[in-house]
C-alpha cells in the first residue's frame, strides 16, 4: 500500500522527463511516457493486489505540510479511491498508446498529459481536503493547454470554456471549504474535522455551503445546466485528452461530490437531495436526446458522457448504499467505455478519414475498411448501452435498484434515459460504420470508392490500447464483485454513515 503514492511521483517525474526528452527526440518522449504511465498503473495494480478492504481510509503518508494552518500532506486510500486510481492508470496507459501519432511538440504533449494524470492520482489519494483541492486544480491547467494546442474543432474557444467552467466550479468549492474551515477555527482540513465544524453552523449556512461545494464539484461531473463545457471540450480535445477528460477528469468532479461534499453536511444534503436528483435525471434524458440529434460523431459521444455521468450523480443523490456503490462502479465503467469510444472516433476514424460527420461517414464502407475499429466500436457501444456482460450493466442496474428504494419516480425517468441511450448508440453505430449502400450509389461505384479510400491500417499501439480497455469492461461486467468488494466496505466508514442509508447490499 505504501507504494501507492509513488504513482503520483512517478507520473510527475515522467512529465518532466518526457518534457526534457521531447526537445531531442519525439520517440524517446513517447517511450518515457508509456513507461511511466504503465509503471504507475502497475503500482496501482500492485497496491490493489495487496489491498485488504475495510471501512475508513488506510493512511499512506501523513506529515504536517503547513503547520500554522493545520494542513497536512495526508494521502490515504480506501476501496473507492483504489477503484479510481486503477481506472486512471488504465486510461492513462491506453491514452499514451492512442497518442502515439502526436508529432508536433511531442514532449510537451506528454509532459502535460502526465502532469494531468499525476494531479488526478493525487485527488483520488488525498485525505486532506486542501491537498485534494490543490491536486484538483493541478489537474485543470494542463487540460486547457492540451486542448488549445493539440485540439481540433474550435479548440481555443472550447479550451477557454472548459477552463473557465472548471475554475468557476473550483472557486465555489474553495469558497465553501474556506467558510467551513474558518468557522471551525482554522485548525484542520481533515474530512471529519470539517464535517464537525459544518455541523455547528446554522442550517441556512450549511445549505449554502453544501450547495457551493457540491455544485462546484458537480460542474466538473457535468451536472445539467453546468454541463455545456463537456461536449465542446471533448470534441475539441485531442484523442488522449478526450479519453482522460471523459474517462477520468469528469470522475474527479463526481469523486469530489462523494468524498467531500456528501459527508460535509448531511443537513445541507437533505435540502438539496431532490433538486440534485432531478438535475441528474434531466441531464440523463436531455443529453441523451441531444446525442440522438447530433451530426458530429464526437458530439454524440460527448453528450453520451454527460448522460452517463447523470447516472453517477443520480446514484449519489439517492444516497442509498447500493446506489452509491453503483455510482462508483459506473464511474469506473464509464471511464473505460468513454475512453474506448473516444479512442475509436478520435484516433481510429477521424485521424484516417478526417471527418466525424455522420453524413460523410455513412457514405464510406467503414466496417469493411476498418474492421477492427468497427468491432471495437460495436463492443463499446453495447457496453455503453448497458448490455449484460459489460461493466455498464451492473453499474446502472445497482444505481436504479438503489434509487427505487428512495423514489420510484426517479427510476421511471431514468429508464427513459436508458432507452434513449440505446437509441443514440445504435444510431451512431449504424450511421458511422454500417452506413454504406444506403445512398444511391451502385455496387460498381461502391467498389471504385473502396479503392479510392485506402486508410492506413490500425497500428499495434491502437490495438493494444483498445484491447486493454475492452478487457477491463468485459472483466468488470462479468465479475463486478472484483470492484464492489472494495467499494462496499469503504462506504461503511463512519463519515458516510451520516448520509447514506440502506442496509448491507
Partner 1 sequence: MNPDYAGLFLALRPEAALVAGALLALALDLSLFRRSRAGVRLGAALWVGALAVLAAGFCAALGARGPAFGGVLMFDTLAVAARIGVLVLTLLTLGAARAAPPGRQPAEYVAMMLFAATGLVLMAAAQQLLLIFLALELASLSLYVISGFDRRRPESAEAALKYFVFGGMASAFLLFGFSLLYGVTGSIDLPQIAAGIAGQGSNPLLLVALVMVLVAFGFKVAAAPFHLWAPDVYQGAPAPSAALVASASKLAGFTLFARLLWVGLGTIHASHEVPWFAPGWFPAVAIVAAASLLLGNFAALAQSSVRRLLAYSAIAHSGALLLGVMAAGRSGLGPLFYYAATYGLATVGAFGAIAAAESGGRCESIADLAGLHRRSPLLAGCLTVFILSLAGIPPLAGFFGKFVVFSAALQGGLSWPLGWLAMLAIALGALALYYYLKVLKQVLVAAPVPGAAPIVVPRATALSLLVAAALLVWFGLNPGQLLGLF
Q: Does 65 bind partner 1 (CB under 8 A)?
A: yes
- For partner 1, the binding residue among 16, 28, 61, 138 (CB under 8 A) is 138
Q: Does 401 bind partner 1 (CB under 8 A)?
A: no
* Secondary structure class of 62 (helix, strand, coil): strand
- 64 or 389, CB closer to partner 1? 64
Reading the block at residue 83, the C-alpha cell is: 477503484
For residue 75, list its beta bridge partners. Answer: 61, 126
What is the greatest pairwise CA distance in the chain? 79
**Residue among 487, 296, 302, 281 at smallest CA distance from 384:** 302
Q: C-beta of 9: minimal distance to partner 1 in Å? A: 13
Based on CB atoms, which residue is closest to partner 1, 51 or 65? 65
Among the candidate windows 144-152, 348-356, 434-442, 454-462, which touches partner 1 by CB under 8 A? 144-152
In the complex, what is the shortest distance from the CB of residue 62 to partner 1, in angstroms, rounded to a whole number? 16
Can you state the angle between helices 392-406 and 321-342, rounded to 10 degrees? 150
**Nearest alpha-carbon partner for 223 in 310, 141, 145, 118:** 310
Of residues 177 and 309, the one with the C-beta less far from partner 1: 177
Q: Which of 377, 384, 152 is nearest to 247 (CA)?
A: 384
> Exactly one of 38, 91, 97, 163 binds partner 1 (CB under 8 A); which one?
163
Q: Is 67 in the site for partner 1 (CB under 8 A)?
A: yes
Can residue 182 be called a binding residue for partner 1 (CB under 8 A)?
yes
Which single residue is written with the C-alpha cell 509503471?
A: 39
* DSSP conformation class of 260: I
156 contacts partner 1 (rule: CB under 8 A):
yes
Grid coordinates representing 406?
428512495
Answer yes or no whether residue 405 interacts with partner 1 by CB under 8 A. Answer: no
199 binds partner 1 (CB under 8 A): no
For residue 77, the SS3 value is strand
Determine the Cα angle at 169 with ends 166 and 170, to 5°.
85
Residue 450 DSSP code:
H
Half-sphere exposure at residue 119, Cβ-oriented, CA atoms within 13 angstroms = 23
Least separation in angstroms between CB 135 and partner 1: 8
What is d(CA 93, CA 461) in angstroms, rounded to the nearest whole number? 11
Strand 58-66 and strand 71-77: pairing? antiparallel
Q: Is 313 in the site for partner 1 (CB under 8 A)?
A: no
HEC readout, 73-91: EEEEECHHHHHHHHHHHHH
Is residue 3 involved in binding partner 1 (CB under 8 A)? no
Which of 11, 83, 94, 170 is close enough to bind partner 1 by CB under 8 A? Answer: 170
Task: Quote the DSSP letter at residue 349.
Answer: I
User: Which is closer to partner 1, CB of 168 or CB of 401?
Assistant: 168
User: Could you tell me how many residues of this chain bind partner 1 (CB under 8 A)?
Assistant: 35
How far apart, in whole angstroms, are the C-alpha atoms of residue 471 and residue 483?
Answer: 15
Segment lying near partner 1 (by CB under 8 A), choices 177-185, 257-265, 332-340, 394-402: 177-185
The residue range among 138-146, 308-316, 451-459, 471-479 that interacts with partner 1, by the rule CB under 8 A, is: 138-146
Pick out residues in 76-135 that bind partner 1 (CB under 8 A). 108, 130, 133-134
CB neighbour class for 456 (10 Å; exposed up to 12, middle 13-18, buried from 19): exposed
Of 1, 16, 183, 387, the residue at the interface with partner 1 (CB under 8 A) is: 183
Segment interacting with partner 1 (CB under 8 A) among 86-94, 155-163, 270-278, 431-439? 155-163
Among 28, 35, 45, 149, binds partner 1 (CB under 8 A): 149
Phi, then psi, of 441 in degrees rounded to 5: -60, 140
Tell me: does residue 13 bind partner 1 (CB under 8 A). Answer: no
Q: For partner 1, which residue of 24, 27, 50, 171 counts as binding (CB under 8 A)?
A: 171
Residue 407 binding partner 1, by CB under 8 A: no
Q: Which stretch binds partner 1 (CB under 8 A): 168-176, 272-280, 437-445, 456-464?
A: 168-176
Q: Which is nearer to partner 1, 168 or 498 (CB)?
A: 168
Q: Pick from 141, 195, 95, 88: which is nearest to 494 by CA?
A: 195
- Cα 251 from Cα 248, distance rounded (Å): 5
Residues found near partner 1 in the complex (CB under 8 A): 23, 64-69, 108, 130, 133-134, 137-138, 141, 144-145, 148-149, 156, 160, 163-164, 167-168, 170-171, 174-175, 178-179, 181-183, 186, 205
Amino acid at each position: 500500500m505504501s507504494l501507492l503514492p509513488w504513482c503520483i511521483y512517478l507520473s510527475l517525474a515522467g512529465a518532466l522527463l518526457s518534457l526534457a526528452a521531447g526537445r531531442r527526440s519525439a520517440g524517446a518522449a513517447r517511450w518515457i511516457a508509456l513507461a511511466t504511465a504503465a509503471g504507475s498503473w502497475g503500482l496501482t495494480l500492485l497496491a490493489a493486489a495487496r489491498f485488504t478492504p475495510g471501512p475508513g481510509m488506510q493512511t499512506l503518508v501523513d506529515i504536517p505540510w503547513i503547520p500554522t494552518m493545520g494542513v497536512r500532506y495526508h494521502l490515504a486510500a480506501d476501496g473507492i479511491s483504489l477503484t479510481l486510481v486503477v481506472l486512471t492508470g488504465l486510461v492513462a496507459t491506453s491514452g499514451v498508446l492512442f497518442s502515439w501519432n502526436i508529432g508536433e511538440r511531442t514532449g510537451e504533449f506528454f509532459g502535460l498529459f502526465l502532469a494531468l494524470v499525476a494531479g488526478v492520482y493525487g485527488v483520488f489519494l488525498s485525505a486532506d481536503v486542501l491537498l485534494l483541492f490543490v491536486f484538483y486544480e493541478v489537474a485543470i491547467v494542463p487540460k486547457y493547454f492540451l486542448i488549445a494546442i493539440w485540439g481540433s474543432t474550435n479548440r481555443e474557444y472550447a479550451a477557454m470554456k472548459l477552463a473557465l467552467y472548471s475554475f468557476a466550479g473550483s472557486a465555489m468549492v474553495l469558497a465553501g471549504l474556506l467558510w467551513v474551515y474558518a468557522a471551525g477555527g482554522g485548525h484542520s482540513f481533515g474530512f471529519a474535522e470539517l464535517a464537525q465544524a459544518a455541523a455547528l453552523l446554522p442550517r441556512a449556512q450549511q445549505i449554502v455551503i453544501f450547495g457551493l461545494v457540491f455544485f462546484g464539484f458537480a460542474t466538473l461531473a457535468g451536472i445539467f445546466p453546468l454541463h455545456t463545457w463537456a461536449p465542446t471540450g471533448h470534441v475539441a480535445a485531442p484523442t488522449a485528452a478526450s479519453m482522460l477528460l471523459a474517462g477520468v477528469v469528469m470522475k474527479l468532479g463526481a469523486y469530489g461530490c462523494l468524498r467531500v461534499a456528501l459527508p460535509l453536511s448531511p443537513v445541507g444534503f437533505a435540502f438539496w437531495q431532490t433538486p440534485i436528483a432531478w438535475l441528474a435525471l434531466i441531464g440523463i434524458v436531455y443529453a441523451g436526446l441531444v446525442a440522438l440529434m447530433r451530426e458530429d460523431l464526437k458530439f454524440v459521444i460527448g453528450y453520451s458522457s454527460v448522460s452517463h455521468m447523470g447516472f453517477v450523480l443520480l446514484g449519489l443523490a439517492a444516497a442509498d448504499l447500493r446506489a452509491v456503490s453503483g455510482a462508483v462502479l459506473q464511474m469506473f465503467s464509464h471511464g473505460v467505455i468513454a475512453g474506448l469510444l473516444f479512442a475509436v472516433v478520435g484516433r481510429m476514424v477521424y485521424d484516417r478519414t478526417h471527418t466525424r460527420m455522420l453524413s460523410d461517414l455513412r457514405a464510406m464502407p467503414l466496417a469493411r475498411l476498418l474492421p477492427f475499429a468497427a468491432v471495437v466500436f460495436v463492443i463499446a457501444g453495447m457496453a455503453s448501452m448497458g448490455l449484460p456482460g459489460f461493466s455498464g450493466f451492473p453499474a446502472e442496474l445497482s444505481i436504479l435498484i438503489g434509487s427505487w428504494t428512495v423514489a420510484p419516480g426517479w427510476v421511471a425517468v431514468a429508464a427513459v434515459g436508458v432507452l434513449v441511450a440505446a437509441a443514440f448508440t445504435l444510431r451512431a453505430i449504424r450511421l458511422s460504420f454500417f452506413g454504406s449502400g444506403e445512398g444511391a450509389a451502385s455496387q460498381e461505384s461502391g467498389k471504385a470508392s473502396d479503392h479510392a479510400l485506402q486508410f492506413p491500417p490500425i497500428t499495434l499501439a491502437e490495438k493494444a490500447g483498445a484491447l486493454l480497455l475492452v478487457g477491463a469492461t468485459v472483466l468488470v461486467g462479468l465479475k463486478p464483485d472484483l470492484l464492489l468488494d472494495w467499494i462496499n466496505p469503504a462506504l461503511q466508514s463512519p463519515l458516510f454513515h451520516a448520509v447514506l442509508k440502506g442496509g448491507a447490499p
